[in-house]
Structure 1
Amino acid sequence: MKTKCIAMLLAGGKGTRLKQLTSHIPKPAVPFGGRYRIIDFVLSNCRNSSIKNIGVLTQYARNPLHEYLGNGKKWGLNGGLTLLPPYQYGLQKQWYDGTANAVFQNLDFIEEHNPEHVLILAADHIYKMDYNEMLYDHMNADADITIAVQKVPLMEASRFGIMITNAEGRIIKFEEKPIYPLSDLASMGIYLFKWRPFKEWIESGINKYENSDFGHDVIPTMLMDGYHLHAHHFNTYWRDVGTIESYWEANMDLLKEEKNVFFEKKNWDIYTDCSPQAPRYISPTAVIRNSIINEGCKIYGEVINSVIFFGVSIGHGSIIKDSIVLPFSTIGKNVIIEKSVVNSNTSILDNSWIHSNTITFVRNDEPPQTKRIITNVF
């Protein structure tokens, strides 16, 4: 039986630019927004878009992600989620070598479902999207490939795949991360392929496994080969959280009503697998302003413009400002934390000051000592 559309989630990234946040887990498994993980957004988008067959391509530190995802039941996918780590070919172990290579190694999985269209999704973006709208646009344009796009500030355009389109939305030029961008129309890394033409192109012998990345290799080559590439405009909140700075900014966006992704598409829930916690406790000494405080927290100090994940304890006299504190961390007494990301299960000593990359220990019996924080903050 032919399937309308299946999704392939690229979830194997090491996420080195997230530094210590991904020292033991892959980027899609990093906590976000107080109680979620980054991958929850794309999985929830699939569920809400009624995409029932999803392959999750995993690689780096995959066991924690596999354990978290299970069979997808928490996201209402009812067994439609399949984990696809790299596996051995003959006597050699074949690791995924880029986004497209990962998909090419799983053509048998796609063929089992016999889809009309294949949706390629990054598992490390924060957004709410109805993929049916993109599919409708794709089919209406009779495109071989449709790419979700969004305008970005021109000064940031060199970080993205940049394209030029004609009046009908057909892509006529595409450059991956150009030094001198010719436009501000950026690829979101979301690709929708008409499966048969794409399969025929793959099997035509054009460097099947050497073309390892969609942005660098597949999209420019298929454009040059004359395939019909179409741009689908997405105009609401979207952020790639690939760096510590962008991760911090995306969490801070939740504290602004006009940028809070959860306030968009009110009936578009984001699902997660979050263990139950005790009710939060806010002591009489606590002061909280414009912040997110989650279950299981004990707050004795002051929290200003910050996102505090579940199970966090903040001691008397401490001030947390413009910061993110990940799950089950303990902040001592009289601690000042500003514009920082504190990793999960971290203990901050009493009388410490953390600001971005620096921590200062203040003791009564000696002058303050300053040293670099390596594992806990950016």
Structure 2
Amino acid sequence: MSDVAVMILAGGQGERLSILSRQRAKPAVPFAGKYRIIDFALSNCVNSGLYDVAVLTQYRPHSLNEHIGHGRPWDLDRERGGVVILQPYLGRSTSGWYRGTADAVYHNLFYITRRPYRDVLILAGDHVYAMDYRPMIAWHRERGAAVTIAVQPVPWNEASRFGVLVTDEDGWVIDFEEKPERPRSNLASMGIYLFRRDVLLDLFTREHPDAPEFIDFGRDVIPYLIRTDTVAAYRFEGYWQDVGTIQSYWEANMALLDDEPKLNLYDPNWRIHTRSEERPPAKILEGAQIVRSLVSHGCIIRQATVIRSVLSPGVIVEDGAIVRDSIVMTDSVIGRGAIVDRCIIDKHVRIGADAYLGWGDDNTPNWLEPTRLNTGITLVGRNAVIPPGIRIGRNVLIGPDVKESDFASPVVSSGETVNPVATVVWS
């Protein structure tokens, strides 16, 4: 696989994840307790024998850059090959901010010309999946396609969120629509493109009078190549999830709690690597009750109850507290007697004693973000401090750095928002 260059597109803002991605790039959002979303693409690369990896960042790259570092957790700290982080820069006529996925690759063409690569694998850095890329590469080369797109069927009611393809009987793509209002197919692009290098270089270095400006792969490049060259669809049968919404992110975490989850984090033959802090083992004290949950290292569960939840490193659950159907991120503290029900709690949150988050049965959508918070999940931003004894309903948005004094009432009704503006960069 030394003749394949990998470019991971990790500059997306991920607005549909609300405050989880407001001050961090979407690929840097924590997932499954100890991981970040980008860990899956990076681990898939090294598990597939691909060690020439460029990560293209743009939006809020600080935490992503810090997480990846020199690439040691993924065995990508190499003298030859390894991982490099490429950011937008100024200095020549073709430099500047990336305007789209294809434009990001265009700005970094030097990366794929430094060695005699045969193919270029372009990945989205914000999907959760375990995939060996080698069968796709072999299939692509056997067919001699200009570009091969990894695809998977999705539910019809979700197809409008994706680029969808129509193929003929032999698997060649004959039509492609990017996020259509009325999809004609439910065969979705996984955001994985395998280009012959000569095709990719030709697109960006030669004039194409009948072509649009190549800004996005889905909107511009793929439709053009369908008309002028050969585009193949490679069907992937394994687990793959776009965690681009609050609901899909919550569901993907909860799915890990199944007896036999579709994404097996415990497969010794397909490790998901990450940058981990040195923390002590999780401590479960006498009287604690934990049911079907992921509890990361450094957690302390006192005489409390944790049911169907995912706890990141360093979470503390005090005596009498109940955490149910929730995701609680690093170093957050659930106070004595507090209840957290169907919530996503970001890092370093302090929840006061006897507070109740996810209270009641009212499912009124959030007034500020009605399309993002409408399924009963309450979202709490990083560093927020929740007062003791407060009742907070469902679909509530609590912004980062909120203080006890920001709560004007002992009850926050479902669908309300408390100080959603973030002013600091998080990791």
TM range (shorter): over 0.9
User: Which residue number in structure 1 is paired with residue 22 of structure 2?
Assistant: 23
User: Which residue number in structure 2 is paired with residue 161 of structure 1?
Assistant: 163
Indicate yes or no: 2:34 matched with 1:38: no
The one-character-per-residue Cα deviations of 1:323-356 (angstroms, maximum 9, x if unpaired) are 0000110111111111110001111111111113
User: Which residue number in structure 2 is paired with residue 369 of structure 1?
Assistant: 411
User: Relative to 1, partners in 2 of residues 1:92 and 1:191: Cα closer, same or farther, differing over 3 Å?
Assistant: closer
Counterpart CA distance in 1 for 2:286 and 2:230 is 63
One-letter amino acid matched to 1:310: P
Uncovered stretches (5+) of structure 2, i.e. residues with no partner:
359-376, 380-385, 392-408, 421-427
The one-character-per-residue Cα deviations of 1:245-297 (angstroms, maximum 9, x if unpaired) are 11111111100134341258540111111011112111112111000111111
Candidates 206, 225, 232, aligned match of 1:222: 225
One-letter amino acid matched to 2:220: D
Shift of 1:205: 2.1
Counterpart CA distance in 2 for 1:221 and 1:363 is 56
Output the TM-score relative to the length of structure 2.
0.82
Candidates 112, 115, 136, aligned match of 1:113: 115
Candidates 230, 233, 244, aligned match of 1:231: 233
Shift of 1:158: 1.0
User: Relative to 1, partners in 2 of residues 1:375 and 1:192: Cα closer, same or farther, differing over 3 Å?
Assistant: farther
One-letter amino acid matched to 1:339: R
* 8 A Cα contact 1:296 1:310, kept in partner: yes
User: Which residue number in structure 2 is paired with residue 259 of structure 1?
Assistant: 261
User: Which residue number in structure 2 is paired with residue 341 of structure 1?
Assistant: 344
* Identity over aligned pairs, percent: 42
Candidates 280, 283, 292, aligned match of 2:282: 280
User: Relative to 1, partners in 2 of residues 1:189 and 1:315: Cα closer, same or farther, differing over 3 Å?
Assistant: same
User: Which residue number in structure 1 is paired with residue 327 of structure 2?
Assistant: 324
* 8 A Cα contact 2:94 2:107, kept in partner: no
* 8 A Cα contact 1:101 1:210, kept in partner: no
User: Which residue number in structure 2 is paired with residue 14 of structure 1?
Assistant: 13
Shift of 1:100: 0.7
User: Relative to 1, partners in 2 of residues 1:31 and 1:369: Cα closer, same or farther, differing over 3 Å?
Assistant: same
Counterpart CA distance in 2 for 1:219 and 1:117 is 16
The one-character-per-residue Cα deviations of 1:124-157 (angstroms, maximum 9, x if unpaired) are 1111111111101101111110000001111111
Shift of 1:370: 2.0
User: Which residue number in structure 2 is paired with residue 61 of structure 1?
Assistant: 60
User: Which residue number in structure 1 is paired with residue 308 of structure 2?
Assistant: 305
The structure in which a higher percent of residues are strand is 1
One-letter amino acid matched to 1:369: V
Counterpart CA distance in 2 for 1:216 and 1:258 is 37
Counterpart CA distance in 1 for 2:273 and 2:103 is 29
Indicate yes or no: 2:170 matched with 1:179: no
Count of residues in correspondence between the two structures: 373
One-letter amino acid matched to 2:286: P
Shift of 1:204: 2.3
Shift of 1:368: 4.5
Counterpart CA distance in 1 for 2:187 and 2:167 is 9
The one-character-per-residue Cα deviations of 1:55-88 (angstroms, maximum 9, x if unpaired) are 1101111122112211212101133111100111
One-letter amino acid matched to 1:4: D
Indicate yes or no: 2:313 matched with 1:271: no
Counterpart CA distance in 2 for 1:81 and 1:209 is 32
Matches within 5 A, 1:40-189: 40-79=39-78, 80-90=82-92, 94-189=96-191
* 8 A Cα contact 1:99 1:212, kept in partner: yes
Counterpart CA distance in 2 for 1:267 and 1:329 is 32
Q: Secondary structure at the match of 2:16?
A: helix
User: Relative to 1, partners in 2 of residues 1:90 and 1:193: Cα closer, same or farther, differing over 3 Å?
Assistant: closer
Q: Secondary structure at the match of 1:278?
A: coil
One-letter amino acid matched to 2:251: E
One-letter amino acid matched to 1:202: F
* 8 A Cα contact 2:38 2:126, kept in partner: yes
Shift of 1:374: 4.7
User: Relative to 1, partners in 2 of residues 1:264 and 1:285: Cα closer, same or farther, differing over 3 Å?
Assistant: closer
* 8 A Cα contact 1:7 1:53, kept in partner: yes
Shift of 1:202: 2.1
